[in-house]
Structure 1
C-alpha cells in the first residue's frame, strides 16, 4: 500500500502567520487613522483660517460703518475745526477729530520698520525679517497700518517710522527737546531749561519738525519729551534743586535759582536764619554747590521745582505753537505721578498730560495708578493720555528679564490683562487715549539698553500674537462706549 507524502505545518509557523496578519491589520488601521486625522487637522486648520478671515472681515465692517477715515466715532459728535482738539462733553473729556467726531486715541508705540537694534548681534533681527519679507519700508508701513486698523487701533504712537505717517492713520510725533539739550530719560540727567542751548534746541526742532506739519490733518499733536526726571527716583537721589546747585555760576539755571531765593527772602540774613548758613550775599550762592537739608531748604526745593517746570513747559509750548498753532501739545510722558509743583507748573502750557503707566496685574497696582491719575487730573483739570502700557508673557520664548512691568505666564493672560487695563482706564472721564508699547517684540539678545521682552503685538518674525490681537480688537472697538458709560458700565 502506497503512502501519501504529507507536509506538516509547524504550530509556531501558524502563530507567526497569524501575528503577522494581525500586525498588518493594525498597521492598516493605524495608517487609516493617521490619514483620517490628517484630513481632520487640515479641515480644522482651514476652518480656523476661515474663522480668522471672517473675524477680520467683521471688524472691518464695524470699522467702516461706525468710524470715519480718522478713526473717530461717527455716532458721537463735537465741533469740527479741521484739526484734532480736546472737548469736555457732559462731564467727559474727548479728543475730537478733524470731522468733528469723538475720538479715543487707541495707539501703538514704536511702529518701526527698523525694530530694535541689538548691539550683540550688530543688527535688528526684526528689520532683517521684514526687509526680506516686504522689500521696502513703504510696503512694510502699508501692511503695518492696515493691520492696526483691522485690530481696532487708530493712532501711530511715538518712535514710529515716518513711512507710517502718510498711510491714512492719525499719528503723533515725539520731539525730544530736552534730550537734544542734554537731558536723558535713561540716566536721569537734567538739562538747564533756562539756558540759551535749551531755547535754541526747542527752536531748531520746532522749525524742522513742527512747521512742515502745521496743516497736516492726520497729526494729533506733539510729545515734548519722554520720562524726564522731575524728582529723586531710581536714576538719581537728587532733587532738581540740587542738580541746579551743581551748575557753574555763569549758568542761567544757577542764576535763576539764586534769583528765586533773593525774591523769596529779600535779605541774605533771612535766608541764613532759615538755612542755618552764613552767606555774606546772595551772590555767594552762585559758587555754592550744596544746600542744607533744613525744613526751610526743603520748602525751597519744592518752590524752585515749580519755577523749573513752568520754565520748561512755557518755553516749549510757546515755541511749538509759534511754528504750529494748529496741533495739540501732548505733554512730556511722565514716568510716574510727578510732584505737585511740576503739575502746577504745566497748567496753561500743555493741552494734554501724558503718563507712561505700567502695572503689576497680580496686585492692586492698577487701582493705585488710577488713584494717582485722578489726583493729577484734580490738580490740573487737564485730560490725560496713557502713553505706554504693556504686558509680556513667559510662553513667548523671550527672557523678559529687562523692561518695564512684571511678566505674566501666557498669551491668554496678556489678552486678559489688556482688557482689564483698558476698560479700567476708559471708564475714567478724563482719560482720552491709551498707547500700547510696542508693535514688535524686542530681540532675545537685548536692545540698546538690554530690554528683551515680549512687548510686541507681533513677533520678531512679524507674526501676530493672535490671542492678544483678537482680544485687543474687541476691546478697542468698544472703547468709546466704555468711556461713554463710565463707572456705570
Structure 2
C-alpha cells in the first residue's frame, strides 16, 4: 500500500505532541480538533495537518478576456507530452514547495486515483450557479460573482438545486478520504460592496411580488414595527398598509450605508440622524442578513452533509467581514469558516473571525510585484516593487496568520500569472507562483517553500493565553 505523500510529509515533520497530550481521533476522514487551545485539521490517520494550498491549478486557465487562447495552456502543450504528464510534474513541484493541498478550481486531472498526493478542497458554487440560471434566462452575460447577485434562497427551487448539485458532485466522492472539505461558494455579496451599493434587504423588497424572499423580508419587517406608520417613518415610504406594500412598488434605500470595508464608528455616527431612524434602518438590514444567512447556510450544509456525510463544510469564502448576524449563522452550520483576505497583515481580520468560535481557513491571499512585467491594473491584493519584496510579504502574512490558534490553513491565489491582456473580467495581475510560460519565480518560491516548511511550528507555538 502506498503511503500518501502528504501523510508521510506530516508524519516526518511533527509529532502528535503539537496538539497536546491526547491522541487525535482517527476517523478515516479529515476533521478538526482543538488541542491545548489551538485548532488543527486532523488527517484520516489521526495526524495534525495545516492546509497549505494553491488555487486554480489548471492546465489551460484564463483564456484571454474569457474567449481567446489560454497562453499557459499553449506553453504546456509545447512542454509536456500530455495533460497527465503536466499534472504529474505540477504535483511533484507543489509538494517540493511544501504545499499539501489543491485549493479551489483545480483540474480534475490533478487527482490521481483517490487523490492521495495532495489533499483537496472542491468548490460547489451552489448559490452562484443557481443565480446564473436566472441571469442567463434574463439575457445576462456576466456571472453572479461579477454582478453580485444573491439568489432567493427562500425559494423551494433553491433547496432543490442545492440538493441536486450536492448529489451530483459530492455523492460520487463521498468515500474519498482526501477531501478536506467543501467550499459552498466564493465571495457572495452580503451587502454594499464593489459590485453594488444596495442593501440586500432593499434588493429583496424590490423583487417580484411572488418571490419567496420578498415575502420573507416583508414578514420580518412586520414583526419589527408595530404598524405601517412606524415603518413609513423610518423607510420614508407612503404605503397605506402592509397589504399595499406586499402588492409592489419600488422601495428605495432611505439612508446611505457604506460598503462594509469602508465603515467605521465615526462614519456611522456622522451619518445617523437625530431621530435615530437611520440606526433602525441599518438594524433592519442587518436583521435580514441574519435571516438570509441562516437560510443559506442551513440549506447548503444540509445538502452537502446528506450527500457526503464524512466530509466537512467550509462555507462560502467571505470576501470581507460581513455583518455579525451573517457570521453567527455561518458558525452555527459550517465546520470551518473560510474567508479571503488580500492584505499585508491579516492579524486584525483573523482575530475578528476567530471570535465566532470556529476554525478558520484563508481561501485566497496574494501579492503582486511590479517587476513581473504585467500591468497589475486590475485585481485584488497589495502591490510590491519586486519579487524579493513579494517573498518578504508572503513570510510576514503567513507567519501572522498561522500565529492565530484558530487558523487551520491558507491557500495562495494562484498557481500561474494572469495574461497581460486580461482574463474574463479583465484581471491582469502577477498572482502566480509560475510565469505564464511555466517558469517559476525562483527567488519567490524559495521563500514560499521555506515559510510553508515552518508554518506548522509557527502554528504549534501560537499564543493561546486568555483565549477560550
How far apart, in 1, do the equivalents of 2:17 and 2:328 lie? 36
The aligned length equals 418
Q: Distance in 2 between matches of 1:136 and 1:381?
A: 46
Look up the match of 1:146. 92
Distance in 2, matches of 1:263 and 1:64, equals: 53
Q: For 2:375, what is the secondary structure of its paired residue?
A: coil
- Identify which of 268, 271, 287 aligns with 1:303: 287
Shift of 1:284: 1.9
User: Cα gap change, 1:124/1:65 in structure 2, threshold over 3 Å: closer, same or farther?
Assistant: closer
Paired with 1:413 and 1:84, the residues of 2 have a C-alpha distance of 35
Aligned counterparts, 1:390-469, within 5 A: 390-469=366-445
**Equivalence for 1:41:** none
Shift of 1:304: 1.1
CA RMSD of aligned residues (A): 2.2
Corresponding position of 2:129:
180
Residues 261 and 423 (structure 1), Cα distance of their counterparts in 2 relative to 1, 3 Å cut: same
Work out which of the two has the higher radius of gyration on C-alpha atoms and give 1 or 2: 1
Q: Does the alignment pair 1:90 with 2:39?
A: no
- Does 1:482 find its partner at 2:467? no
Please, which of 229, 244, 254 is the counterpart of residue 284 of structure 1? 244
**Could you say what secondary structure the match of 2:170 adopts?**
helix
Partner residue, 1:116: 62
Inter-partner Cα distance in structure 2 for 1:328 and 1:66: 23
Distance 1:479-1:210 versus aligned 2 partners, 3 A rule: same
Contact 2:205 2:218 in 1 (8 A): no
Query: In the alignment, is the contact (CA less than 8 A) between 2:391 and 2:448 conserved in 1?
Result: yes
For the pair 1:67 / 2:14, whether they are aligned, the reply is no
Match of 2:350 in 1: 373
| TM-score, normalised by the number of residues in structure 2 | 0.84
Q: Secondary structure at the match of 1:241?
A: helix
| Residue 283 to residue 240, structure 1, CA distance change in 2 (3 Å) | same
Gaps of 5+ in 1: 1-61
Deviation at 1:487, TM superposition (A): 4.4
Q: 1:142 to 1:261 in 2, by over 3 A?
A: same
Higher relative CO (Cα under 8 Å, sequence separation at least 6) belongs to 2
Provide the rounded CA distance (Å) in 1 between the counterparts of 2:233 and 2:99: 59
Contact (CA 8 Å) 1:108, 1:435: kept in 2 or not?
yes
Farther-moved stretch of structure 1 (188-197 vs 224-233)? 188-197
Aligned to 1:249: 209
For the Cα contact (< 8 Å) 1:152–1:477, is it kept in 2?
Answer: yes
- Equivalent residues in 2 for 1:229-268, closer than 5 Å: 229-265=189-225, 267-268=227-228
Secondary structure, in 3 states, of the residue corresponding to 1:86? strand
Partner of 1:189: 149
What corresponds to 2:135 in structure 1? none
Q: How far apart are 1:452 and its partner, in Å?
A: 1.2
Mapped partners of 2:287, 2:65: distance in 1: 43
Q: Given the superposition, is the C-alpha separation of residues 345 and 121 from structure 1 closer, same or farther in structure 2, using an over 3 Å criterion? A: closer
2:328 to 337, 341, 344: 344
| Structure 1 residue 252 displacement after superposition | 0.6
- The Cα of 1:388 is off from its aligned counterpart by 0.5
C-alpha distance after superposition, 1:373-432 (max 9, x if no partner): 212221x21111011011121222212121111321111111111111100101001111
SS at match of 2:180: strand
Deviation, structure 1 residue 120 = 8.2
Spell out the pairing of 1:314-353 with structure 2 (5 A cutoff). Answer: 314-353=298-337
Match of 1:212 in 2: 172
Deviations 1:65-102 (A, max 9, x none): 75249x98666452111111111110011111100000
Distance in 2 between residues matched to 1:250 and 1:308, nearest whole Å: 17
SS of the equivalent of 2:338 reads strand
Distance 2:388 2:181 in 1: 34
Paired residues of 1:63 and 1:152 also in contact (CA < 8 A): no
Unmatched runs of 5 consecutive residues or more in structure 2: 133-143, 256-276
Secondary structure of 2:410 counterpart? strand
